[in-house]
Amino acid sequence: QVQLVESGGGLVQAGGSLRLSCAASGRTFSSYAMGWFRQAPGKEREFVASISRSSVTTYYADFVKGRFTISRDDAKNTVYLQINSLKPEDTAVYYCNSGSVAATLKSAIFASWGQGTQVTVSS
């Protein structure tokens, strides 16, 4: 089982950028598809993006519209989420998680979550 720690969040102005990181423990990181999710205040957690093993395929939520890029570095056991052109509605706690298939992470049910990283966008 992979343990995950998110970082890289912060307070930024609208239009700014952030790169979130998710560091995973364990030697089997490369065997997992990885995904990013977010939860805004008062809302349910939602899918943001996922990436397959070996970075073959990526998937994004419709609201991303080219502003987010997911990537992974298996040598560092880390998955990243680059967020550009930040909007106030991007304010949320961002989480990562792992699974078997990137295409199905969007609707997967996870046993546990990390602490997430807070992203706050000011207008």
| Per-residue pLDDT at 1 | 64
Please count the CA atoms within 13 angstroms of the CA of 8 that sit on its side-chain side. Answer: 18
Q: How far is CA 88 from the centre of its chain?
A: 18
The arrangement of strands across the sheet holding 58-60 comes to 10-13, 117-122, 92-99, 33-39, 46-51, 58-60
Each residue's pLDDT, cut to its tens digit, for the chain (123 residues) gives 678 999 999 999 999 999 999 999 977 899 999 999 999 999 999 999 999 999 999 999 999 989 999 999 999 999 999 999 999 999 999 999 999 999 999 999 998 999 999 999 999
| Closest listed residue to residue 98, CA positions, set 7, 8, 5 | 5
* CA–CA gap between residue 77 and residue 70 (Å, rounded): 14
* CA–CA gap between residue 84 and residue 15 (Å, rounded): 7
* CA–CA gap between residue 55 and residue 90 (Å, rounded): 25
Structure tokens, 101 = 């298939």
| Per-residue pLDDT at 26 | 76
